[in-house]
Amino acid sequence: MNPMAAGAGFLHEAACYGLLSRAGLHPPKHGWLGSVLPFAEGEPVVVKGIAEGLWHKSEMGAVRFLSFDGEALDSAGKEMRARVEAEGYPWIGTLVCERIEMATSPGLPTEGFAALTKGEGGWICVLGLGGMQADALGRLAPPLRWPLAFVSPRLALQELEAHLLGQVWLGTLRGTKPLTTRPKLLAFLEGLWTAAELAESEGLDLLELNPVALDAQGGPRPLDGVGRGAVATLARPSPPSGFLRALKAPSRIAVAGVSSRPDGAGRIIIENLRTAQLPEGDLMVIRPGESRFLGLPCLPDVKALREAPVDLLVLALPAAVALESLEALICQGGGAAVVALVAGGLGDGADTGGLGTQLTGMLNEARREGRWTPAVLGPNFLGHVVPARGINTTFIPGDKWTPPPGGGPLALLSQSGAFLLSRLSVNPELPLALAVALGNQLDLRLPDLLQALEGDPEIRSVAAYVEGFAPGDLEATAFIAARMKQAGRPLLLYRAGRTDAGLVAAASHTGALAGDQDLEQALLNRAGVKLAPTIAAFDAGLAWLGAFPSLEPGPVAVLTNAGFESVAAGDLMGGAFPPARLSGKEVASLCEILKVHGLENLVSPQLPLDITPMADEAAYGAILELLLDGEAKVLVVGLVPFTRKLELEDIQRATAFARDLKAQADQQGKAVALVVDAGPAHDPMRKALASGGLPVFSRMEEALEGLKALG
């Protein structure tokens, strides 16, 4: 028997020790009972019963602390074997290990644990307080989580030094002494990174080391370890490239499933597409038996697209019929760059016939064989919008919702079509280049869209709503987001389904997969993704990115004519957007401005700055010019309109004020937002200010929470 090789899929302790030794992590010396053992008579040892699938030996009574004695070891091994086999674990052998003298600190936990796990976010190292009470200690001092692709051992060491485990080990707590040194901890962390590489090469997806203790010389030693083999899966063939051009600038579009009923989905899609900037005859209906319908040319079926393909084919058909049409396209080898599936019932809770499995199987088989396929959006595709070209493929009638006008630098992606429409309705002035409802993502998925947008110079920032990540998508999203961050193109994300109730709702909505939320958030944060904590913060972040897509963190100056806004701002600023400060020279200049405008006895010359309702537009202008020249990277300007000193209810004056301020901000490389905290009667004023190109908020809190989301 070769115990080292026993147990496919489960890496027992002796095999794990071998991998750790190759990584330079110094497990205890050890050997199998029955072989030549490297111990002297009477030497303290630890005896362990090793069985297939037995992860927690102590709980099974399969760990004994003895002195090295052949008869005692043999008796302990037999007793352990009987116990674990009675519980159904196949026996592997008795392992005899060196008993390491551990360094301790009176009254404090000194054992750690380390786990290397490969999941949806790639390899992640989790390190925290360990031993038998690791779970309870983890609630007091949550473990550190490091995505290995985005964190170096040196950065991990800096964070470990601030953690309770690092403070105990390094003796930085009051009244404690160092048990180890930073170089030894760095070597240990480097060994963990190497162990992950070895685990990857050997087809593992988990190594669990608990406890990790410091020996008398301060060296971290993994005293126990097990691992798990990864389940082999076929890589998903990528959708064909070029789909983004077909979505953003299609020259030919066809819609199938258009009925004479005015409330039918296909009919509404056609009516919405009549505003698209398409040449005459390049918006078509697939409708057998007719040459024209609703004034548009008709094609009998998708076979007619083989010789005259379209950029976009929208199938507003029942699920089974849509699948047949897609199969016909693939069989004939062409017809549409992108196919959008409007219907549900494919790969979701309503799919009782396995249609979604057929769809993905058909696409993957064709792509692995090198045959043509379209890129497929949906199912449950609510539509997409390209304002600059008048393209609107939603099935929402025009009297219920109107897409935003014009274009801009922002792309908005959403797993939920309703979320997409609601955001565009709440933010009607959003300068949008593209908005896409992704639906169930059986083919085109979030990372596919992000990668395509990454190569589009028109898109300078992206916002997305996510309910879950399909296998492989989390890691891919993180890598793309990291590249986007490096290029100064932020990704703002609202992650729904973060609570137990939210996970249930998300699963019932789209069948989205949910992973370990803490690990997911750690990975996305490291990759530079901006995570909005609430939908309100997401909306505010959208408004900021729409006007200033390359917004960078930095000091914030707040100027208002209402005292409550300055107080609230003082409470809300911080983190990546701290309060700006005035230099002595700037304070003197500000005092002079206040004197010129008759405000010197009313206003305290400090930030946040409340210039009272007695300030007019000229005072605002002079102070803003001063602040734009200062250290502030961001300005938030409160314009509470209940004063005759401001005449910004006049639409032309408000628009000119905002345009002038936007031009000054752009020239100085600063970001500026306006706040009008007043009722619906002042909506025209807000709209006029927004038309000047600045984000306009209804409360100071909104503006600052939006900044926090982007910090």
* pLDDT at position 505 over 80: no
* pLDDT at position 1 over 70: no
Grouping H, G, I as helix, E, B as strand and the rest as coil, residue 87 is coil
Residue 433 banded pLDDT, cuts 50, 70, 90: very high
For residue 258, what pLDDT is reported? 95
Predicted confidence (pLDDT) per residue in 575-607, tens digit: 999 999 999 999 999 999 999 999 998 999 999
| First-residue to last-residue Cα distance in the chain | 58
Measured CA to CA, the distance from residue 256 to residue 367 in angstroms comes to 25
* pLDDT at position 510 over 60: no
* pLDDT at position 639 over 60: yes
Same-domain status, 223 and 258: no
The residue from 189, 208, 229 where one domain ends is 229
Predicted confidence (pLDDT) per residue in 226-255, tens digit: 999 987 778 889 999 999 999 999 999 999
Same-domain status, 375 and 461: no
User: Of the ranges 118-132, 325-339, 684-698, which one carries the lowest mean pLDDT score?
Assistant: 118-132
* pLDDT at position 286 over 90: yes
Same-domain status, 542 and 560: no
CATH of the domain at 204: 3.30.470.20
Q: Which residues pair with 233 in a beta bridge?
A: none
CATH of the domain at 63: 3.30.1490
For residue 559, what pLDDT is reported? 97
> pLDDT over 90 for what percent of the chain?
84
Same-domain status, 353 and 265: yes
- Residue of 402, 400, 396, 423 lying closest to 411 (CA atoms): 423
Measured CA to CA, the distance from residue 298 to residue 284 in angstroms comes to 6
Tell me how many domains the chain contains.
5
Same-domain status, 512 and 561: no
Same-domain status, 256 and 181: no
* pLDDT at position 506 over 60: no
**When comparing pLDDT for 224 and 119, which is higher?**
224
CATH of the domain at 322: 3.40.50.720
* pLDDT at position 501 over 50: no
Question: Is 398 contained in some domain?
Answer: no
Name residue 350's amino acid. Answer: A
Q: Judging by beta carbons within 10 Å of its beta carbon (0-12, 13-18, 19+), is residue 282 exposed, middle or buried?
A: middle
Q: What is the arithmetic mean of pLDDT over 156-179?
A: 97
Q: What is the arithmetic mean of pLDDT over 548-567?
A: 94
Question: Is 35 contained in some domain?
Answer: yes
For residue 9, what pLDDT is reported? 84
* pLDDT at position 4 over 90: no
Residue 499 banded pLDDT, cuts 50, 70, 90: low
Same-domain status, 494 and 602: no
**When comparing pLDDT for 545 and 1, which is higher?**
545
Residue 350 banded pLDDT, cuts 50, 70, 90: confident
Q: Are strands 122-129 and 112-119 parallel, antiparallel or unpaired?
A: antiparallel
For residue 230, what pLDDT is reported? 86
User: DSSP readout, 48-83?
Assistant: EEEETT---TGGGT-EEEEES-HHHHHHHHHHHHHH
Question: Is 209 contained in some domain?
Answer: yes
Predicted confidence (pLDDT) per residue in 32-79, tens digit: 999 999 999 999 999 999 999 999 898 899 999 999 999 999 999 999
Same-domain status, 662 and 620: yes
Same-domain status, 588 and 445: no
Question: Is 19 contained in some domain?
Answer: no
* pLDDT at position 519 over 90: no
Question: Is 138 contained in some domain?
Answer: yes
* pLDDT at position 508 over 60: no
**When comparing pLDDT for 165 and 515, which is higher?**
165
Q: Judging by beta carbons within 10 Å of its beta carbon (0-12, 13-18, 19+), is residue 240 exposed, middle or buried?
A: middle
Q: What is the arithmetic mean of pLDDT over 171-195?
A: 97
Question: Is 303 contained in some domain?
Answer: yes
**When comparing pLDDT for 260 and 450, which is higher?**
450
* pLDDT at position 414 over 70: yes
- Residue of 151, 154, 127 lying closest to 141 (CA atoms): 127
CATH of the domain at 544: 3.40.50.261
Q: What is the arithmetic mean of pLDDT over 375-383?
A: 95
Predicted confidence (pLDDT) per residue in 85-131, tens digit: 999 999 999 999 999 999 999 999 999 999 999 988 899 999 999 87
* pLDDT at position 277 over 90: no
State the residue range of the domain holding 473: 404-550
* pLDDT at position 217 over 70: yes
Same-domain status, 652 and 681: yes
pTM, two decimal places = 0.87
The residue from 180, 206, 229 where one domain ends is 229
Question: Is 622 contained in some domain?
Answer: yes
User: DSSP readout, 345-371?
Assistant: -SSSTT--S-HHHHHHHHHHHHHHTT-
The residue from 42, 72, 98 where one domain ends is 98
User: DSSP readout, 429-492?
Assistant: T--EEEEEE-TT-SSS-HHHHHHHHHT-TT--EEEEEES---TTHHHHHHHHHHHHHHTT--EE
Question: Is 457 contained in some domain?
Answer: yes
**When comparing pLDDT for 314 and 646, which is higher?**
314
Measured CA to CA, the distance from residue 468 to residue 474 in angstroms comes to 9
Same-domain status, 149 and 165: yes
Same-domain status, 431 and 543: yes
* pLDDT at position 504 over 70: no
> pLDDT over 70 for what percent of the chain?
96
**When comparing pLDDT for 307 and 450, which is higher?**
450
Q: What is the arithmetic mean of pLDDT over 378-398?
A: 95
